[in-house]
Amino acid sequence: MLGRLNHVALAVPDLGAATAAYRDVLGARVTAPQALPEHGVTVVFVDVGNTKIELLEPLGEGSPIAAFLEKNPSGGMHHVCYEVDDILAARDHLTACGARILGDGNPKTGAHGKPVLFLHPKDFFGTLVELEQA
Ligand code: CO
């Protein structure tokens, strides 16, 4: 079921500063910031060749990233995203195995315009897992 690592997401308190550090200090290619109000985040993707790093900054009230940054003020790893061929089949398989899907259990549209789901971190050893239909 599990495919490639699509990205690793890092929550950051200052997206402009983080983007500049990746672009100017680390010499990476970065995208323009993209606001995703449905997810409560603004994202920048860093292309590192074999995968991407997703820099996340809170957007709007009740952003899931805001709570994370309260606990980790300087930022930190927020989630990993794996690709799947069929997100509904993956969801049904995971649910049958007892894993919990966050939210209402239905895919949302992610930063790449593709359906995504998040899995409860307590079911995957403390790491928030995103699945994206490739
Ligand atoms: Co993500």
The string of pLDDT tens digits covering residues 16-66 is: 999 999 999 999 999 999 999 988 999 999 999 999 999 999 999 889 899
Is 130 one of the catalytic residues? yes
CA of 81 to the centre of ligand 1 (A): 6
Which of the residues 54, 57, 83, 130 is marked catalytic? 130
Q: What is the DSSP letter of 129?
A: E
- Domain total for the chain? 1
Reduce the DSSP state of residue 71 to 3 states and report it.
helix
Reported pTM: 0.92
Closest-CA residue to 42 (of 53, 29, 51, 32): 32
Q: Give the CA-trace dihedral at 111, 112, 113, 116, to 10 degrees.
A: -70
The domain that contains 16 carries what CATH number?
A: 3.10.180.10
Range of the domain at 118: 2-133
Characterize 9-39 residue by residue with b for buried, 16 or more Cβ atoms within 10 angstroms of its Cβ, and e for exposed.
bbbbeebeebbebbeeeeebebeeeeebeeb
